[in-house]
Amino acid sequence: MKNKSSIITTAIQTINMEADAILNLSSLIDDEFAEAVQHIYNSKGRLIITGVGKSAIIANKIVATLNSTGTPSIFMHAADAIHGDLGLILKDDIVVCISKSGNTAEIKVLIPLIKSAKNKIIAITGRKDSFLGQQADYILNSYVEKEACPNNLAPTTSTTAQLVIGDALAVCLLELRGFSSNDFAKYHPGGALGKRLYLRVEDISSVNLKPKVFKDTGIKDIIIEMTEKMLGVTAVVENDAIIGIITDGDLRRMLSKADDFLALTAKDIMGTNPKRIKADAMALEAKEVMEIYGISQLLVEENGKYAGVVHLHDLIKEGII
């Protein structure tokens, strides 16, 4: 049985081997890669990405990355393609075939069928002299010298290289399309990533209660308001405009300093320069302001009027933090 030291050594060797292989890919990026990217960008069709075995798994991931960054893509298993799924491929579609060897039986059957339909073929392969390499219109070279597997058999380094080539392809297309963070949010509306890009302060603060008092409101009523609204803070307003803020911390400091606090009013204990944020600001901006000032609440304004409170816990709940 291997001890911990030898396990760690093997893990590090695997990572270093794959890292070296990825670095070597940069020397394989050439004009043909750029031409393939330009052809995809100018195409009216979709990308159909296919492979078998581990390459099929990589194809699925590349499809997901491309779809989420503005390049419509579909996964087609090479084995299923020759048993009926070729109907997925439309006239203007481009087919990306992923294969380390470029000589698998499924690929040899599939490629002539694609070529007979006159669809362009882009190969992601480590063998330019393979059947796939010779038949493809463009080759994206994913050559690796050796698998990380000690027997040089299990797809490890080669599938990592395929994945990186797919990422490079997706990022190049993303930049050509001018794909922005707002575009990204459209494709990720339900996840935390999307929320960071599209969720606004008003989307959060509007569901909260809206604590407010006036400058002559007494301490007892201030405490009741803050307790009922459960946000640990209340705005002090005048003509619906924010003139101050009272936090739980202000109340504690008042209790430690004043013997006769029942006679005090909001104007005696409020902070007069509260941090605030506009209702239409991004929720991510609220997070950044809270981090800068080390606070857990922000008062929200809309058209110069008090509009509510956004709390640190709201941002955590929504996945912004």
**Total residue count of the chain as it appears in this document:** 321
Cβ contacts of residue 82 below 8 Å, gap of 6+? 106, 109, 110, 113
**Residue 189 within any structural domain of the chain:** no
**Averaged pLDDT of the chain:** 89
Q: Do residue 101 and residue 230 come from a single domain?
A: no
The C-alpha atoms of residue 84 and residue 181 are separated, in whole angstroms, by 38
Q: What is the pLDDT of residues 40-67, one digit of tens each?
A: 999 999 999 999 999 999 999 999 999 9
20 inside domain: yes
Question: Same domain for 121 and 232?
Answer: no
pLDDT tens digit string along 241-291? 999 999 888 888 887 776 677 778 888 888 888 898 999 888 888 888 889
Question: What is the structure's pLDDT at 207?
Answer: 82
Q: CB neighbours (10 Å) of residue 280?
A: 13
Task: Give residue 54's pLDDT.
Answer: 94
**Residue 16 predicted with pLDDT over 70:** yes
Is the pLDDT assigned to residue 191 strictly greater than 70?
A: no
Q: Kindly state whether residue 71 falls inside one of the protein's structural domains.
A: yes
CA distance 150 to 14: 9
> Residues 202-207: contacts with CB within 8 Å, 24+ apart?
202/279, 202/280, 202/300, 202/302, 202/307, 203/283, 204/283, 204/286, 204/310, 204/314, 204/315, 204/318, 205/279, 205/300, 205/307, 205/308, 205/309, 205/310, 205/314, 206/308
Residue 209 clears pLDDT 90, i.e. is over it: no
Whether residue 151 is found in the same domain as residue 219: no
Indicate whether 189 pLDDT > 60: no
Whether 77 has a binding-site annotation, put simply, is yes
- Tokens 């302001």 identify what position? 289
CA–CA distance, 118 with 111 (Å, rounded to integer): 11
CATH code for the domain of 26:
3.40.50.10490
Residue ranges making up the domain that contains 64: 4-179
Going by their DSSP bridges, the two strands 241-247 and 233-238 should be labelled as antiparallel
Domain termination site, one of 150, 179, 208:
179
What pLDDT is attached to residue 183?
Answer: 67
| Whether residues 89 and 155 fall in one domain | yes
CA-based max dimension of the chain: 92
* pLDDT tens per residue, range 133-158: 999 999 999 999 999 988 888 899 99
